[in-house]
């Protein structure tokens, strides 16, 4: 009896010893900042000396501020417009590279995946370089076929398109791999049977592949939603949020308010408000994947 108790005690000690380094780091650099954010959001902290309690003032300012809504709306619009591409492109790529008819599969897969290695910043720069207004390759090619060069950095819509291209380019290979995993789980018998019944490849794609990949699609949707909502470094490599504020998304807006305008309190309140959106998404994901078991 005493022996059992001793081992249990020993293992309690061992458990905490193993967990402690992670727990300490996590407490110090996640939990404390989280509570600090909440605390700052009720003050007029300027990152320096001033830190008076101001109650809900920051939240009221944020929720009555047109710029906040505009930025949030712009971020949501950017996210929603990109969703179809972020699902369709990787799905089509995965279908292509798992096709039995494709030779040199490894080469194609490897090349498609390489952009994923890029940092968001450098990915933005790489794509932006092709979309240069004056001596960019795309405008050069457009002129070659008799089209007027486009003002990629002066027109808000065109600037958003460049950012979207870069964002899809840098992430497609990653989600493609997730889809490949999903496709490999589909039984080949299903395609066999469809083929016997005279279904075409296209019919099999929409009738078998797409519906059976719904769980993967769901995860891809959630992951791309989160990453699009917090798009920041990529934009820094392309438009810096311009022209004007037409590509300034919510994370950049928070940093501008905090680090550039020294309104740490207000920026923290913005952060808490935006977190609510992320928390909802995370809870949905957690429930849907049964706690990450899938």
Partner 1 sequence: MGESAKRTVSNVVVTLVGLLVAFLIIFPIIWLLFSSFKPSNELFAYPLHLFPQNPTAESYFGVVEDGIFVYFKNSLFLAVMGTIITVITSAMCGYALAIYRKELNYTNKVFAVFLLGTLIPGEILTIAQFTVVSEIGLYNNIWGCILPVVTTTTGIFMYRQHYMSIPLELAESARIDGANEALIFGKIMLPLGSAVTITLTIFSFMWRWNDYILPLMLLSDQKNFTIQIAVKSYIGTMGVDWNSILSASVLSIVPVIIIFIFLQKYITGGIAATGVKG
Please, which of residues 194-223 interact with partner 1 by CB under 8 A?
Answer: 219, 223
30 binds partner 1 (CB under 8 A): yes
The dihedral through the CA atoms of 208, 209, 210, 214 has a sign that is positive
Site residue total, partner 1 (CB under 8 A): 95
Closer Cβ to partner 1, 174 or 190, answer by number: 174
Binding mask 116-155 for partner 1 (x = CB under 8 A): -xxxxxx--xxx-xx---xx-x--x---------------
Task: Enter the tokens of residue 182.
Answer: 């999903």
Q: Which residue has the tokens 């207000």?
A: 266
Binding residue (CB under 8 A) for partner 1 from 19, 56, 60, 284: 19
Tell me, rounded to whole angstroms, the distance of Cα 6 from its chain centroid.
48
Q: Which residue in the set 81, 210, 240, 284 belongs to the binding site for partner 1 (CB under 8 A)?
A: 240
Of residues 155 and 275, the one with the C-beta less far from partner 1: 275
End-to-end CA gap in the chain? 40
251 touches partner 1 by CB under 8 A: yes
Where does 131-209 have alpha helices with state H? 137-144, 156-184, 188-196, 201-204
**Shortest approach of partner 1 to residue 14 CB, angstroms?**
4
Q: Is 71 exposed, middle or buried (0-12, 13-18, 19+ CB in 10 A)?
A: buried
Cβ proximity to partner 1: between 25 and 154 the closer is 25
Q: Which DSSP letter does residue 117 get? A: G
Residue written as tokens 């050069």? Answer: 140
Question: Pick from 6, 50, 65, 99: which binds partner 1 (CB under 8 A)?
Answer: 99
User: Which two structure tokens, joined as six digits, stand for 104?
Assistant: 């040199």
173-192 positions binding partner 1, by CB under 8 A: 173-174, 177-178, 180-181, 184
């Amino acid at each position: 009896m005493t022996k059992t108790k001793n081992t249990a005690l020993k293992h309690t000690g061992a458990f905490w010893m193993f967990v402690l380094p992670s727990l300490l780091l996590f407490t110090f650099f996640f939990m404390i900042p989280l509570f600090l954010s909440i605390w700052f959001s009720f003050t007029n902290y300027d990152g320096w000396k001033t830190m008076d309690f101001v109650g809900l003032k920051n939240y009221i300012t944020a929720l009555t501020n047109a710029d906040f809504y505009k930025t949030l709306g712009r971020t949501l619009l950017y996210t929603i417009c990109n969703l179809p591409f972020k699902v369709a492109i990787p799905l089509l790529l995965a279908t292509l590279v798992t096709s039995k008819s494709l030779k040199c599969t490894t080469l194609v897969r490897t090349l498609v995946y390489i952009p994923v290695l890029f940092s968001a910043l450098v990915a933005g720069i790489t794509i932006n370089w092709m979309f240069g207004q004056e001596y960019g390759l795309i405008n050069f090619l457009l002129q070659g076929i008799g089209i007027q060069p486009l003002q990629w950095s002066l027109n808000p819509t065109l600037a958003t398109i460049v950012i979207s291209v870069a964002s899809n380019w840098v992430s497609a290979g990653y989600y493609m791999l997730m889809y490949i995993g999903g496709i490999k789980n589909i039984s080949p018998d299903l395609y066999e049977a469809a083929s016997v019944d005279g279904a075409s490849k296209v019919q099999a794609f929409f009738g078998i592949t797409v519906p059976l990949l719904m769980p993967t699609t769901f995860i891809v949707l959630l992951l791309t939603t989160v990453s699009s909502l917090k798009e920041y470094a990529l934009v820094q490599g392309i438009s810096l949020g311009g022209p004007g504020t037409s590509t300034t998304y919510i994370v950049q807006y928070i940093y501008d308010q905090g680090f550039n305008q020294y309104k740490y309190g207000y920026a923290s309140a913005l952060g808490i408000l935006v977190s609510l959106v992320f928390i909802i998404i995370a809870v949905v994901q957690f429930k849907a994947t049964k706690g990450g078991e899938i």
